[in-house]
Chains A and B, each alone.
Chain A
Amino acid sequence: MEPDRASRLLGVALDILVVTATVGVAYMKVNAHSYYRGDVRSGQSAAYIANFYRSRGYSLRGGILGVHVNGTLINSTGFVLDSARATIYFSAGGDVFLVYSSDQKVRDPLPQEVDPLKLALKVDRNVDRLLVSLDPLWTDGLDDLISRVGEVAGAVSSGGVGYELFVSFKLHGGGLSEAIRGNEVPIYWLQSEVNEECSGLFLFVGSTVAPFYLVVENMNWKDLTKLDSILRAWLPADAREMLAYDIRVKVVFDRPPSPGEKSAIYGAVSSVEGVRYAKFMVEFKG
């Protein structure tokens, strides 16, 4: 039986639908570079997505448009430095921002927080990073630590690949604890001051095991001098001798180093005194 006119027209409509769907899929594939885009009502979603892909060895670059806790507008491009369950450490323009859920019930005092209006994440490359673990060291102020991290940076530079370097560590000392306990240091004000001036996260932690200690997470190493000067301004002289421990240096390269460059960097970094281990890793791995 010959199809009637309506059936033929519907047939043409179906053809158009199928072709449109096929073109749509192809278009979406070509443009499928964003892992997350949109207004981040829940930064937790973005953090989850970042975790998901980073755990599978991807690196994420992207853009952030948001309002800093101090009221200024942030509009920067950069990369995801780290991510946790509900938080993304986003490095942009030499600073490290924390993007996290705006609807979390409990909000930690994270002063570098940015409440993003828009966040776009996309994969950039299957990148290699270098993680360097350093032995604990006694440091007067941060002098010794800065010097040690500087040596690591010099060793990394010898590989000839551009990089950014981020440091995480903890600081503890009897004098420091006493000074905080004795209210000689306006610790919460200091915390706010450091987080405003420096990248990454600076936290004061009270605990029964180590009565008071300071935590620095993902701070650009160029800000260490600034941190040192702030601490020197506010810590009494007998509180400046501290044990820096759990020191991790994270190196993010501009491009994946070649095997030869990796070998050179590894050799140079391993020869720095106090380096516990150095390893190339892909995001979470290692």
Chain B
Amino acid sequence: MSLTWRAIRILIKLEMAVGRFLAEILASVAPTAHAREVHEGLGISRIPGTLRRVFSFVNKLADRLVEASASSLVLRPLAVASGRYGAASPVLAVPLAYALYLALALVSPLPIVDPALWVAGIALWTLAVAAYSLGARAAISRVPGRAVIRLRGEGLLHFSLPLLIAGGVGLLVNYLRLGAIPLLYPELRRHDAFWMISYDAYLLGLSALVAWLSSAAGQKGSIRREDALIACAGLMGISLALTFPSGFRLDMVVALGTLIVAMWLGGLIKVRQVLAYLAAPGLLMFTFQKVILMARAGLTGDAYYVLVSRAGFTLYSLTLILKTYSPWGMTYGILLFINPLLTMLGIPRPLVGALTGEAVVGLPVAYTTSMVGPIWIDFGVVGVAVVPLVLGAIAGGVLKLARSGDSAAKVLYPILLSASLVWIESGPVHPYLYSFFAPALALLVSGALRRGGDGNLSDKG
């Protein structure tokens, strides 16, 4: 075992020791924080009857529609794939989100400046998403379903608490540092190192806590499923309160996406229920955060315009990227993956925003140019197929491990998928998100190396 791995293990054990301490404090100081009494603490002894009936009706309707999709000529392949891989697997979720986003881009009234480049842009975008999906599919069928790290009992809870609290406090402190709510003062919006570390810690803590809630909800004598759902609703509210004011839609989407995918992975919720209950409010929040931001910047735009124009402009920007930059790439990894290192070393480096902005509007201002744009500038057409393939394979492999009960994979997968969904629009340009793919890859490699060995790293606590 390498020295680095030993050091990481010691750090994680220390962190979990702090978590255990925090859990004990919470249990002793606030009895209502105990899992069994969550519902009493919240003053909800039971969900009101009317609401329960509404939930029941919506659930039945969603189930009925899913059953019917098996009889639909168009949707049957999706129903089959969903049954095989899961609706929130990278095999399906990313292509479906892409199809929706592309439809918005096509509905957008933005003109087609160059039809050939427009078609090429859609073809390359589709290629990238297909490569991601194929990579995930291959990994799901090839990665052995054998857990590498298995935390038992309240291990995940102990792991999550310090990260969740530290991350949440960090995000709050970030607003205090800025001195204002960036949503209301758009010129203050920024993602600095402090924010990135806080956000990553919060994501890890959130994902781990939901994973623990999900597993605890399934155990006899532990938390009731209903209480686990109420706790998740509370976490959703906290996540929203922490991320909505930042003024970046990405922050909100990735945090809520992580929470929801973790719930799906833990069996607390089905994708059909996510669509039935959360699609409309999610879309409203996604749109109106931007509307508020625009209004505060002194601009007025209607919600429909905000919703479709971003998608349309992403496709438009992509055509300009294809027109401007060589199909054989330019920076070969420096732009996307070496940048954070160069930043830390203080070495001048190319910036994604500057390169895309120069091509799109002639100014060094960041514009989203789809999953393809940044990869095209960095690696060219080969990268457009290879990078998403690798990302998809990692996400698929981690999903397979998560299903086998691997604790680390359970924590990582929701973050990987949420990041991938965001990257349909922006490409892998966020170091604080793609950095999660590194431990995920290490986990897969570790699993592969241990295939012949005796097994799992386990925490008996």
Contact = CB atoms under 8 A, between A and B. Distances in A.
Contacts of A44: 300
Name which of B72, B74, B360 has the most chain A CB atoms within 10 A of its CB: B72
A37 B212 CA distance: 52
B368 to A, nearest CB: 14
Contact of B362 (A18, A32, A285): A285
Interface residues on B, range: 20 to 34
A7 B67 contact: yes
Nearest to A30: B106
Interface string B296-322: 001111100100010000001000000
A25 B68 contact: no
A15 B75 contact: yes
Given A49-B305, A55-B361, A11 B109 contact: no
A44 B68 CA distance: 46
A129 B187 CA distance: 32
Interface string B230-265: 000000000000000000000000000000000000
B220 interface: no
Interface in A39-91: 42, 44-45, 48-49, 52, 55-58, 85
Contact of A19 (B65, B71, B74, B360): B74
A237 interface: no
Contacts of B300: 42, 44-45, 48
Interface in A122-150: 122-123, 126
Given A3-B71, A85-B298, A10 B109 contact: no
B108 interface: yes
A33 B109 contact: yes
A35 B72 CA distance: 36
A8 B111 contact: no
A10 B67 CA distance: 9
Nearest to B109: A32
Nearest to A8: B71
A11 B103 contact: no
A7 B68 contact: yes
B107 A29 contact: yes
A123 to B, nearest CB: 4
Given A45-B302, A126-B113, A25 B69 contact: no
Nearest to B299: A48
A13 B64 CA distance: 12
A205 interface: no
Contacts of B75: 11, 14-15, 18
Contacts of B70: 3, 7, 11
Given A49-B301, A285-B362, A29 B106 contact: yes
B3 interface: no
B73 interface: yes
A210 interface: no
Nearest to A26: B106
B77 to A, nearest CB: 12
Contact of A12 (B72, B107, B109, B298): B72
Contact of B65 (A9, A10, A34, A52): A10
Contacts of A33: 109, 111
A48 B113 contact: no
A11 B71 contact: yes
Contacts of B113: 126
Contact of B301 (A14, A26, A48): A48
A34 B74 CA distance: 32
Contact of B72 (A15, A48, A57): A15
Interface in B279-309: 298-302, 305, 309
A28 interface: yes
A3 B309 CA distance: 41
Interface string B70-88: 1111110000000000000
B71 A10 contact: yes
A13 B73 CA distance: 11
A103 to B, nearest CB: 10
B101 to A, nearest CB: 12
A11 B71 CA distance: 5
Contacts of A45: 300-302
Contacts of B111: 33, 58, 123
Contact of B107 (A28, A35, A85, A122): A28
Contacts of A42: 300
Contacts of A32: 107-110
B233 to A, nearest CB: 30
Interface in B94-128: 103, 106-111, 113
11 contacts: A7-B67, A10-B64, A10-B67, A10-B68, A11-B72, A14-B72, A14-B75, A15-B74, A32-B107, A44-B300, A285-B362
Interface of B: 64-65, 67-75, 103, 106-111, 113, 298-302, 305, 309, 316, 360-362
Interface of A: 3, 6-15, 18-19, 21, 25-26, 28-29, 32-35, 42, 44-45, 48-49, 52, 55-58, 85, 122-123, 126, 285
